[in-house]
Structure 1
């Protein structure tokens, strides 16, 4: 049993509702929400987790959930590990930092955001309580899936104690643009992002949220990112999009459910209007409730022919009404409802039916299935499952969905009428379009939306996430297999000792020297030059530096016994000889492209041109990352248009540098030439840049090729940091 893989879910809330009978007997009522159902579906897969394995769930609870002598609570599906947090700490953690800081800043309400230091300290302490409890429980092979913004620090805390663990994190709310996120204190930004990338896979509902997160990681932490991956010093983190969904079949069955049919008949007696518009949301400023009412009021004002013919049933589910802002919002809502009904209503017709209460599942199903129009218009929403639930219930293929383009669901539900929730004119026009839409168009739109959420339901969402978590773990394992350890170094040394003609082919920047903002100030790591001299002093060892640097720089750094290849192989210096140009060179091309180089230098503060003997390089390491990346893509495109695709010039897209040079020169050609001259039976090559891939690919199969940094590479081996180069070279002394 101990060999079986366990699934550990971590969320602020537990999957039980705990009640007590008058006798004091505890009753555990399992939640029936989509996430709980989806998690259960994973447990049923015996090939993923151990057969009949219960799911372990860590979540906040109060002590009364536990009976004497208990440390956990379980039913037929879950083993719940209550995380006990004292009331004062929980208030500052949950109501304070979670709901008064992270929630408003993530929903683009910075003016409602609290920046209370004590609340953040409580957030750290609460995450640490979760971490301590899980660290004491976790074992190798477990899969940990952390849910949502209450636990952003937790992945990093678990990673520090469990470096090989399989950890997923899903962020269920929006992730704001960097311009909003950066309003948080710098320390909070750094620690929250580092916490999240403690996971192997960070998931979001939409691609926008994923990209906003990646940009914040770039700007705050300085890590290199691609469209989906973050390269951190010791591993790769995947960032991907998984739009959460619903249990489609469960909602599809509601239309013909006897209880729902009975409720629908009951409601229709009270809703005597020709058309019914339905709206349901919990009380929150992000839901756009006031804007929704303003838009409906504008509709009534502009289209008086619809008076007495349409009713808006607006359900507001109570939430946090003890907080002043929410109490004020409730008062404002009720004033707006009263104003609209007083202004437009009659003795027999109320334009707005407003209810401030929760609904039973049957009541919700009845309102979904009787509505002619669902009006769902949040100002900002991570996904909004109400929209998907409404669509799924419509077995009759009737009804129209009006949906805010600010909701994550808008990217999937392409049959909805999309609106800007703050634009009352657009909202009013959408209501008219929905009320007058013929049944054929309603059916076509509803079918499109149902097809989408039928295929990608909550179970597919869960399966997709877990599949991607497995994929990134396999990718990490592939990198780990290439990581050099002591056993690998011993095998290198053995091959070295058994050979007689040894050749080291080494890059300079990022390999022998750390990357620095100003290339002219670069110096080799402490001790590197001495190690190279000792290697070169052996008659049977030759050391070659193959670099993009110019001749003068390499002459200055390295001694006369070192083979030097400058400007990506354009020049070669054999010990005891002068520099030699390796091809027929004409620099006329520089005059035509130099204005393009200058143009982008002028446009990007901090960038500069390096004019070498045979090439031009544009360095943009000191320019703001995202802006520089965009300009660098434009720069490459303009250079390609300038010289033409059949030109004998090559454009090298390097690490924060773009270089143009003759195409018949590269590090691979230089490496082969040096090998031909020295005929080595031992070759060790180390590099960190894209240009070093030419060198790795050009070398014979028996060469030991090493990439610096956890990146995709054709090299056979990898080291995580530039500092490890010294360890490798010392192995051979």
Structure 2
């Protein structure tokens, strides 16, 4: 680890980009977490003597800063009670449902809010301690919305960016939050506040106008009053749609062993004519229930025959201590069991339901094996699974059904765009995908692949950071 206050680029996120692994003999080591964010930021981290501030993923774990794979890591400790109140409580049972259009009812508890403030301050303190004078700090996501203002209060010399990976709700929904003003004040500590969609950035600027008056915003610019009566700053709120490491997924999908594994998957499923695939965290925002309802009705009406088609649903575990998620798992497993009990034969299941995660290699094979990808999110900041599927389809085949309520729909317009609440419309699109001629499939997929290649995750980070530097320079010249 470099000396304190010597890092020119700091990433602050809820989790560190490594997982702590305990071997059977009790020894512990760190393993890099999968994900596009660390891939995108790694070159910047190395070039700028960067540091990553985050929680190590285990409660009551006190760790000193350390270096792993050439990146300085600054662990932020959380107690078990703080994990319960800040993370499982305020972040995932208050903000998450609120920001996803109240698909599930948010819970508002003052002790959760107090824990959120305390933990955000701890993250801000950790970043302030390791940041060199004039350093750039990039804060990530909804768990840390108070950090920008807390950080600016301590270190006004810093260039501060914030990116919200999930949607930002319309003001009529956001206004339900008892601490709405404090959240907006926290975000306005940043020079640049990034969102997935233009609509999300618009929702945020409208919230600013409602709380601070109609003259505070102009286009993407927001006038931010100084808390001590000093000169105003200018912050920018703008959309930067995130993406994936396209080249990495495509290389993985082209490997002979991946292509062979895709063939084996089809064989293990009984060599059906059509494989439909859903890949989601087990979350109520993903529209898994709507997907199963539509699929069940197609089976009931004879539009799909179990001997010809199968639905593979990968639902990786998520927030299993939160009540809404426990209830969702029970509902999904009950529905899958009912449909399999009604429509499966001795040789063919109607649905292959897999409640666990898979490594990237297996996911690439699944994407290659699937004829139809079902992304039926009720609300999603982006949905990178849609982009991963497209990146893997180097054969220019496959059909993507994509919810218009996912951020990816703004870019992937040659998918079959659907409203997951419209069950009849969803069924019609599934049948259209089943019957789509190969020439049309290839034409649509080539267009989708061009779009995904144009905006990969490196382009996303480069665009954000260059805009951040420009925003900070402009703010300081006011």
TM-score by length of 1: 0.62
Larger Rg: 1
- Structure 1 residues 638-685: Cα deviation after superposition (integer angstroms, max 9, x where no partner): xxxxxxxxxxxxxxxxxxxxxxxxxxxxxxxxxxxxxxxxxxxxxxxx
Mapped to 1, the partners of 2:172 and 2:332 lie a distance apart of 31
Deviation at 1:32, TM superposition (A): 3.3
Aligned to 1:687: none
2:224 is matched with 232
Counterpart position of 1:108: 101
Mapped contact 1:152–1:195 kept (Cα < 8 A): yes
1:679 is matched with none
The answer (yes or no) to whether the contact 1:41–1:459 under 8 Å persists in 2 is: no
TM-superposed deviation, 1:303: 4.1
CA distance in 2, matches of 1:57, 1:79: 6
Deviations 1:68-114 (A, max 9, x none): xx621112321111111222123111111001100010011275210
**What is residue 451 of structure 2 aligned with on the other side?**
452
Task: Give the deviation of 1:135 after TM superposition.
Answer: 2.4
For 1:269-280, what aligned pairs fall within 5 Å after superposition? 269-271=267-269, 272-280=271-279
Partners in 2 of 1:259 and 1:31 — Cα distance?
23
Measure the CA separation in 2 of the matches of 1:111 and 1:24.
40
Does residue 254 (structure 1) correspond to residue 256 (structure 2)? The answer is no
The alignment partner of 2:380 has SS state of coil
The corresponding residue for 2:38 is 36
1:124 aligns with 2:117: yes
- Structure 1 residue 24, shift from structure 2 partner: 4.2
Q: Is the contact between residue 295 and residue 424 of structure 1 (CA under 8 Å) also seen in structure 2?
A: yes
Listed as ranges, the gaps of 5+ residues in structure 1 are 480-733
User: SS at 2:396's partner residue?
Assistant: coil
Aligned partners of 1:133 and 1:374: how far apart in 2? Answer: 42
The alpha carbon displacement at 1:440 in A equals 1.4
Distance apart, 1:184 and its partner CA: 1.0
- RMSD between superposed Cα atoms in Å: 1.9
User: Which stretch has the larger CA shift, 152-161 or 20-29?
Assistant: 20-29
Q: Give the match for residue 339 of structure 2.
A: 340
User: Secondary structure of the equivalent of 1:382?
Assistant: coil
Give the match for residue 428 of structure 1: 427
Match of 2:51 among 50, 56, 65: 56
2:186 aligned with 1:191:
no
- Specify the SS of the correspondent of 1:85: coil
Q: How does 1:505-516 map to 2 (within 5 A)?
A: none
Is 2:93–2:322's contact at 8 Å kept on the other side of the alignment? no
Cα deviation for residue 227 of structure 1 reads 2.0
Partner of 1:418: helix, strand, or coil? strand
SS in 2 for 1:42: helix
Pairs within 5 Å for 1:688-699: none
The answer for the alignment partner of 2:284 in structure 1 is 285
CA distance in 1 between partners of 2:117 and 2:60 (Å): 24
Secondary structure, counterpart of 1:325 in structure 2 = helix
Which whole-Å CA distance do the structure 2 matches of 1:303 and 1:106 have between them?
Answer: 38
Shift of 1:347: 2.6
Q: Could you say which residue in structure 1 is the equivalent of 2:229? A: none
Rate the CA distance shift 1:136–1:41 in 2: closer, same or farther, 3 A: closer
Identify the range of structure 1 (322-331 vs 394-403) with the bigger mean alpha-carbon deviation: 322-331
Q: 8 Å contact 1:298–1:425 — kept in the other structure?
A: no
SS at match of 2:157: coil
Q: Tell me how far apart the structure 1 counterparts of residues 433 and 406 of structure 2 sit (CA, whole Å).
A: 19
User: In the alignment, which residue of structure 2 is the partner of 1:134?
Assistant: 127
Q: Name the SS for the 1:141 alignment partner.
A: strand
3-state SS of paired residue (2:132): coil
| Aligned-partner Cα distance in 2 for 1:119–1:5 | 32
Gap runs ≥5 in structure 2: 226-231
Moved more, 234-243 or 303-312: 303-312
Cα separation, 2, equivalents of 1:114 and 1:5: 38
Number of the residue aligned with 2:464: 465
Aligned to 1:590: none
Q: Which has the higher contact order (CA 8 A, sep 6+)?
A: 2
Look up the SS of the partner of 2:115 in the other structure.
helix
In the TM superposition, residue 30 of structure 1 has moved relative to its aligned partner by 1.4
Give, in angstroms, the shift of residue 305 of structure 1: 5.9
1:358 aligned partner? 357
1:95 aligns with 2:93: no
Deviation at 1:133, TM superposition (A): 2.3
Q: CA deviation at 1:23?
A: 4.8
> Which residue matches 1:562?
none
**CA deviation after TM superposition for structure 1 residue 159, in Å:** 0.9
